Structure 1
Amino acid sequence: MITVSRSQQQMIDNYSALMDEVKERIEWLNVLLAGSIKLPNPALQEFGFLQLRILCELIALACLTAHGEIPEVKGKRLHEEWNATNILKRLEHLHSDFYPKPITVTNPMPGHAHIDFVISGFLTKTDLISLYGRSGDLLHRGSVSKLLEPTLPWPPDMQEITEWGHKIVNLLRDHSIGHLGGQSHILCKLSNPQDFGKVQVAFATALTAEVEFAIQQAPRRQR
């Protein structure tokens, strides 16, 4: 039977809160893509790419949260970092397997899960850095010296936002993050249909095809 320490529970609670916000922003993107917002295309694109950029930051912060046991992660430099690209690069140096891995999960018995890894169609580390840069280029006006330079044109339709959104959902719908040393993992389900669609996070043993886990459900945040 797995026992979860106080610090591990805090990590799970924080991770759940970040994934809760991820869910909200994905829902906002779905409203946008459904055509429910009546605004000129540049305004719609700006809203969409803003959500995508914040989602990149939330994924990076979730990676940081999941690896809070690494001493360097507790330091001031990473604790105060907000740039998603910088966070990923620093985590890569500390733990090469830090990024979420999309999975499919079946539960053959209570407290156990069968895991299969998804191998394509999701937002990779390289994709995240690319999207973060792309959205920043579109959203930021730049310095005063560049105000008169031509700006990047907005995409003509929602296709690009749709494709990025699908990749993010495919990454996070069901995913795992391995801790340093490989002896434990986080398992996360972005929306558990058996619990009113809430985020569910579990602390699991070393991730093989069959894992034992302890479910720790964080309370849903009130907004």
Structure 2
Amino acid sequence: MKNSAPKITDMEQRISVEYSNVLNEVRTRINSFQTIIHGTASLPEWLTAELLYLQLRMLCELVAVGCLVAHGEIEQEKLGQVLKRHEPGVMLKKLESLHPDFFPKPIKVTSTSGSHHIDFIEDGFLTKNQFFELYAECHQHLHRGSVSHIYSLTNPKQPPRVEDAVEWAKRLLTLLNTHHIVSSVKGKMLVCWLAHEQVGGNSFVVIAKAPGCEK
């Protein structure tokens, strides 16, 4: 990818700022995991895990909202009432129907003089299908359940585990640490960092030409 920026519209500039704000909150919530774990050492493990799963639930919602923000060029009338919904599954399914390649993809960016080279990360990240699995798991752990389920002798409700929550967070971090999102506008994409030294460790989003569209 040559180091030549495409012409940026006012809407795209707004999208990059708003999506950066979403990523800043994502980074804060992911970074909170170690604070939560160390600060709740005297509590039962299942209670610590519940606090972690609460953050994962918030992170799921932020990913869904972030996808909508990142694709702000899609007309509001096409998105309809989904803009007023808070369920990640509903939001992402609607977005997928309008732009199948909407979900973030993790990348590694190597910069040299005059150009940036992108390599795709192939494993260890939260896939789109796993995103829906995570959201369902959060829903399961953050509701106490029915009486018959809680006190069942044959199939009791299982408490959440800290190691499972941490593994989900690692996969989410690998997905979003450095990623790109293909715009519905042909030839453009967002290249995004959760933290970048150029902006003092805050999140950073740039609009770039998609591979194969350098000319």
TM range, smaller chain:
0.7 to 0.9
Deviation at 1:196, TM superposition (A): 2.6
Q: Secondary structure at the match of 1:107?
A: strand
Query: 2:158 — aligned with what?
Result: 153
Question: Does structure 1 retain, via aligned residues, the 8 Å contact 2:45–2:162?
Answer: no
Query: 2:9 — aligned with what?
Result: 5
2:138 to 122, 135, 149: 135
Deviation at 1:182, TM superposition (A): 3.8
Query: 2:125 — aligned with what?
Result: 122
Deviation at 1:211, TM superposition (A): 6.5
Q: Does 1:85 align with 2:64?
A: no
TM-score of the pair, normalised by structure 2:
0.87
Q: Does 1:22 align with 2:35?
A: no
1:193 to 197, 202, 211: 197
Deviation at 1:121, TM superposition (A): 0.7
Q: Report the CA distance shift for 1:17/1:211 in structure 2 as closer, same or farther (over 3 A).
A: farther
Q: Distance in 2 between matches of 1:140 and 1:149?
A: 11
Q: Report the CA distance shift for 1:78/1:54 in structure 2 as closer, same or farther (over 3 A).
A: same
Calculate percent identity across the aligned residue pairs.
34
Q: Report the CA distance shift for 1:94/1:74 in structure 2 as closer, same or farther (over 3 A).
A: closer
Q: Distance in 1 between matches of 2:109 and 2:48?
A: 35
Deviation at 1:137, TM superposition (A): 1.0
Question: Does structure 2 retain, via aligned residues, the 8 Å contact 1:102–1:118?
Answer: yes
Query: 1:99 — aligned with what?
Result: 103
Question: Does structure 2 retain, via aligned residues, the 8 Å contact 1:173–1:190?
Answer: yes
Question: Does structure 2 retain, via aligned residues, the 8 Å contact 1:191–1:200?
Answer: yes
Q: Which runs of 5+ in 2 are unaligned?
A: 151-155
User: Which residue type is aligned with residue 158 of structure 2?
Assistant: P
TM-score of the pair, normalised by structure 1:
0.84
Q: Distance in 2 between matches of 1:73 and 1:41?
A: 46
The one-character-per-residue Cα deviations of 1:110-160 (angstroms, maximum 9, x if unpaired) are 5x4211111111000111100000111110245xxx3453263213x4210
Question: Does structure 2 retain, via aligned residues, the 8 Å contact 1:16–1:201?
Answer: yes
Query: 2:153 — aligned with what?
Result: none
Q: Distance in 2 between matches of 1:128 and 1:24?
A: 19
Q: Secondary structure at the match of 1:159?
A: helix
Q: Report the CA distance shift for 1:60/1:211 in structure 2 as closer, same or farther (over 3 A).
A: farther
Q: Distance in 1 between matches of 2:67 and 2:50?
A: 26
